[in-house]
Amino acid sequence: MSIKKYTPIIFVLIIIGLIAGGYFFIWSKHQEFNQKKQEVEFTDEEFRAKEEYLLNIENTLKELSKYSEEVSKIDSALPSDPSIAALLNYFQKESSQNGLILKNIDVSGLFTQEAATDKIQKMPFSLTVAGSYASFKNFVLSIYKNTRLIEIKSINFSGVSQETEKGPVAKDLFDFDLEVETQSYNPFYVSPQPADQANLEEPLEP
């Protein structure tokens, strides 16, 4: 039997084998390419997600920085150290700078350690200053311009007279009695425990 007789068949089989081999080679490369493409797309999406997350954090920090001044004003308005000495010093300074005499200050109404139920504690007290009406007006304005929360609840005044040989003579001076209230963070405040935590801490009955 002559080999030449099968040459065309062999040639066709070789061609088919080459085509099939090329197809599977290309298909495997195509699959590998798709897999790499998906990995790149996933990495790109992950990168964009992280970039967006960092951008959101940056924007949040910028927003918070806008309120930092307001927060500092609140901290100043609500000091954590409601010391009597600080109040005395403040009103002594303000009255002196505005031409008044601080005659008396009663701080007996300030809170004690027992008053620890509120985080923000009111601090009522009273004081008496003496001087002219114009000086007192400036004194009141300077109090309300202060960043600390100070509220004047009531004002009473009486004229001051001077004894002379002809008897008492009225002067352009007054005693001003003020009922004042300020606020402060309560250093004795304790946050209430959650109900479930409190229940867990209760002793078990035998």
pLDDT tens per residue across span 99-142: 999 999 887 766 554 455 667 777 788 999 999 999 999 999 98
Q: Is 192 helix (H, G, I), strand (E, B) or coil?
A: coil
Q: Which residue has the higher pLDDT, 54 or 198?
A: 54
Q: How far is CA 100 from CA 34, 129, 154, 163, in A?
A: 86, 6, 18, 21
- Name the residue type at position 176: F
Q: Cα dist. 67→19, 62, 72, 149, 190 in Å?
A: 71, 9, 9, 19, 27
pTM: 0.49
- Token pair recorded at residue 108: 């007996």
Classify residue 5 by its DSSP letter: G
Give CA–CA dist 109/140, Å, rounded.
Answer: 21
Beta strands at 120-131 and 167-185: parallel, antiparallel or unpaired: antiparallel
> Using one digit for the tens of pLDDT, what is the confidence trace for 13-72?
777 777 777 777 777 777 777 777 777 666 777 778 877 877 887 777 777 666 655 555
pLDDT at 154 over 80: yes
pLDDT at 136: 93
How far is residue 44 from each of residues 51, 157, 192, measured CA to CA in Å?
10, 76, 48
What is the helix (H) or strand (E) element at residue 23, kind and residue range? helix 7-66
CA torsion sign for 30, 32, 33, 38 is positive
Q: What is the pLDDT of residue 200?
A: 45
